[in-house]
Structure 1
Amino acid sequence: MEHHLIQIFFLIFTGAAVVASLALFGRQPLLVVYILLGAAMGPHGLAWVTDVQLIAEIASIGIIFLLFLLGLDMQPQALLRVFRQVTHVTLISSVIFALAGYGIGYLFGFSATENLIIGTSMMFSSTIIGIKLLPTTVLHHRHSGELMVGMLLMQDFLAIFVLLMLISAASGGDSYMRFAVSLISLPLLIAGSVLMVRYILQPLFARFDRIGEYVFLLAIGWCLGIAELAEYGGLSREIGAFIAGISIATSPIAPYIALNLKPLRDFFLILFFFALGGGFDLSLIPHIALPAIILAIIMLSLKPVVYHWLLRNQSESHGLAWDIGLRLGQNSEFSLLIAYVAFNTSLIGNNASHLIQAAAIITFLISSYIVVFNLTNPIALKDTLRRD
């Protein structure tokens, strides 16, 4: 098994290095390359990497670190202020996107339950792509970065609520109890994290801050520990990681931790995008190609317009409203998770599940192109747009 895993990593990262080099010469965004590489090398392509589920499980650590690093750079007071600003924008836009998705599913003859889940999966934008393509200076030091992060986090909370409701609908009373437990565990987890940081982590950081290896180890242990506690509490590891990050955001050592964890985050995110492409069943394309393309085009067109309209009504500038709208024009990795959960609980069929996945992947690809070629981002191919 060890040799098998090393061989998988060799294929993924050597292949990614080769095609990434070609992509940069061809002026193509790297996120697109990782997805296409996964589709080509995965079990439905050349079948060089067949255990995509294992890769996906390992890659989920990248999402955890992404949310942890995001929390590290956000002050709690600023987060609460942003939540107040984006709540109505997030809720109104989510309803509009859900109705659009429901309508498309209805036109192509899916069942009422499938249409409801298709619509629900359209409500969210990708936290990974949105943050990955946002310059660091914007992410941490500008109003537009705060608004965008606030909207994405609010959507993440809504997505977790939807996932819990799907599990409850399929499993009955026990899951309703789990949902109630999750509502109680959130404030308890936040309060417990703050107290542990104040009385345990801060003194340890202060005493051993010169030992970089220890600081690195303690930060990873804290991140994964709180993430696991959140999972046991009925929340998600991603939410737990964000709480872990924001609980030590006021510490002077937070920037040092963030700087040292970024390469580890990028390592796992490459695996995430590879697994995303590798998990798609190419044989179903003829059955869902037309509705997936229409659904993706509608969402790519609708989301920027809706976000622009809502943000302009909130007195944000014309340029800022379009910038955020275009950056959030794709579907979310939570869309894929909703499709997975709904299919495994027999709420939707295989075609509806792959419709959601195909639409999400199409929006990931096109949205990445739109941002990389038109907006400031860390991997822009034009020097005038490249910012980090």
Structure 2
Amino acid sequence: MPEDIIFTFFVVFAGAAILATLALYTRQPLIIAYIGLGVLVGPFGMSWIEHPEALSHMSHIGIIFLLFLLGLDMQPMALLAVLRQATSVALLSSVVFAASGFAIAYAFGFSTMDSLVIAAAMVFSSTIIALKLLPTTVLHHKHMGELMIGLLLIQDILAIVTLIVLGFLSGDQDIPLWQPLLAMPLLALGCYAAVRWLLLPLITRFDRFQEYLFILAIGWCLAVAEAAAKLGLTYEIGAFVAGVALATSPVAQFIALSLKPLRDFFLVMFFFALGAGLDLNLLSEVVVPAMVLAIAALVIKPVTLRYMLASFSERPSLAWDVGFRLGQISEFSLLIAFVASDSGLISQSASLTIQATAIITFAVSSYIVVFNYPNPIAVRDHLRRD
């Protein structure tokens, strides 16, 4: 039976306000408060929210807006330049991450298929955690912000390929494997043409009407996201391409500032739904392998990225910074676990292991960044950057 949406929003946002206040007083990352609230009142806690699936679907919009805003801060030429370096680092590091994940999972007695999917889940870093904790007005215009986005973009492409392969293995995928790889440049060219000959003339003519610009930006973002999904890509990549295409607009920064509250609204729901979906009854069965996988991700990812980036003449301090910001597994890992489990390719314990590993790395990685590197929600004043 559907739950009262007003009561659901009351529980999520009133509860988030209370726990966020406690988190700030005790100098904890706000993300932990949102996840903890989901665990506390979700179906495996006090059951105040018994069906968080609807919130999970809605919260996906927050990820889309997050990628769109990041695209607005990226100049196309700068992105192309950094992708040359990011591609090599992302591909080489992915081999290291996957190998470590497979070895650990297999050592704990998971089947070969379970171990392969866990290995794939270990490859990706969280776009939400990494970019939510990245200062938008300071670092996006510097090399580190561009490099992080380049690495995450390559990982997103690898995640798409992984999801397509899982679809083929389960018999649910009806698009050819090459289609998403061809769709990316076609989508970029289509967005460039639409911005140049449609959006920019409209913005120039009606730039005095702020409400119109706000609606136009949301419509553009969601239109390109939907087009990307139809082409076999993801909504997130479509939103990012939409943002990059619009980054040269004179109102790009106005749009970015206008959409930030909307983005944060949906991201609170994302982290709440993540906590609410954690089955505490089965957690004891997978806590040890999840802890080992989490420790491996939190150690191996920063070290690997530090030395690989240093081999490309990056400063050690910048390389460590990027490594620790990407030192977790991803929301794509959760999606891979869901798809593989739903199609019967992996066991329930393997799926729960990936979920538990994701939440552990989300939490610990957030602590590391919040207490040591510049970020928008730092509890120390000298580290706080909007």
Q: Give TM-score scaled by structure 2 length.
A: 0.98
Contact residue 39 and residue 277 of structure 1 kept, 8 A: yes
Contact residue 308 and residue 325 of structure 1 kept, 8 A: yes
Counterpart position of 2:52: 52
Q: Distance in 2 between matches of 1:2 and 1:304?
A: 43
Instruction: Name the SS of the counterpart of 2:140 in structure 1.
Output: helix
Counterpart position of 2:4: 4
Matched residue type, 2:302? P
Contact residue 335 and residue 360 of structure 1 kept, 8 A: yes
Counterpart position of 2:15: 15
Counterpart position of 2:349: 351
Q: Distance in 1 between matches of 2:184 and 2:298?
A: 33
Contact residue 324 and residue 365 of structure 2 kept, 8 A: yes
Counterpart position of 1:105: 105
Counterpart position of 1:80: 80
Alignment of 1:13-162 (within 5 A): 13-162=13-162
More off after superposition, 189-198 vs 264-273: 189-198
Identity of aligned residues (%): 56
Counterpart position of 1:360: 358
Contact residue 126 and residue 331 of structure 2 kept, 8 A: yes
Contact residue 227 and residue 236 of structure 1 kept, 8 A: yes
Q: Distance in 1 between matches of 2:287 and 2:16?
A: 27
Instruction: Name the SS of the counterpart of 2:36 in structure 1.
Output: helix
Q: Distance in 2 between matches of 1:356 and 1:319?
A: 30
Q: Does 1:330 align with 2:336?
A: no
Unaligned runs of 5+ in 2: none
Instruction: Name the SS of the counterpart of 1:139 in structure 2.
Output: coil
Match for residue 214 of structure 2 among 216, 241, 252: 216
Residues 101-159 of structure 1: per-residue CA shift (max 9 Å, x gap): 00111111111011011001000111111011111244322111111111111111111
Matched residue type, 1:193? C
Q: Distance in 2 between matches of 1:137 and 1:208?
A: 26
Contact residue 82 and residue 150 of structure 2 kept, 8 A: yes
Q: Distance in 2 between matches of 1:130 and 1:139?
A: 12
Counterpart position of 2:271: 273
Q: Give TM-score scaled by structure 1 length.
A: 0.97
Residues 52 and 317 (structure 1), Cα distance of their counterparts in 2 relative to 1, 3 Å cut: same
Matched residue type, 1:167? G
Point out 4+ residue stretches in structure 1 off by more than 4 angstroms. Answer: none
Matched residue type, 1:223? C
Contact residue 52 and residue 277 of structure 2 kept, 8 A: yes
Once the 2 structures are TM-superposed, how far is the Cα of residue 2 of structure 1 from its aligned partner?
A: 9.2
Q: Distance in 2 between matches of 1:203 and 1:386?
A: 38
Instruction: Name the SS of the counterpart of 2:233 in structure 1.
Output: coil
Residues 323-364 of structure 1: per-residue CA shift (max 9 Å, x gap): 111111111111101100110111101000000110111000
Q: Distance in 2 between matches of 1:106 and 1:22?
A: 40
Matched residue type, 1:90? A
Contact residue 294 and residue 361 of structure 2 kept, 8 A: yes
Instruction: Name the SS of the counterpart of 1:51 in structure 2.
Output: coil
Counterpart position of 2:227: 229
Once the 2 structures are TM-superposed, how far is the Cα of residue 3 of structure 1 from its aligned partner?
A: 7.7
Residues 3 and 325 (structure 1), Cα distance of their counterparts in 2 relative to 1, 3 Å cut: closer
Matched residue type, 1:150? G
Counterpart position of 2:367: 369
More off after superposition, 352-361 vs 179-188: 179-188
Aligned positions, number: 386
Contact residue 3 and residue 51 of structure 2 kept, 8 A: no
Match for residue 342 of structure 1 among 340, 343, 350: 340
Match for residue 288 of structure 1 among 286, 289, 305: 286
Q: Distance in 1 between matches of 2:383 and 2:360?
A: 24
Matched residue type, 1:69? L
Q: Distance in 2 between matches of 1:178 and 1:251?
A: 35
Instruction: Name the SS of the counterpart of 1:136 in structure 2.
Output: coil
Counterpart position of 1:384: 382
Counterpart position of 1:306: 304
Matched residue type, 2:239? A
Q: Distance in 1 between matches of 2:196 and 2:272?
A: 39
Q: Distance in 1 between matches of 2:28 and 2:287?
A: 24
Residues 284-308 of structure 1: per-residue CA shift (max 9 Å, x gap): 1110011111111111111111111
Contact residue 131 and residue 139 of structure 1 kept, 8 A: no
Contact residue 372 and residue 380 of structure 1 kept, 8 A: yes
Contact residue 178 and residue 234 of structure 1 kept, 8 A: no
Once the 2 structures are TM-superposed, how far is the Cα of residue 36 of structure 1 from its aligned partner?
A: 0.8
Once the 2 structures are TM-superposed, how far is the Cα of residue 186 of structure 1 from its aligned partner?
A: 2.3
Q: Distance in 1 between matches of 2:281 and 2:306?
A: 37
Q: Does 1:204 align with 2:202?
A: yes
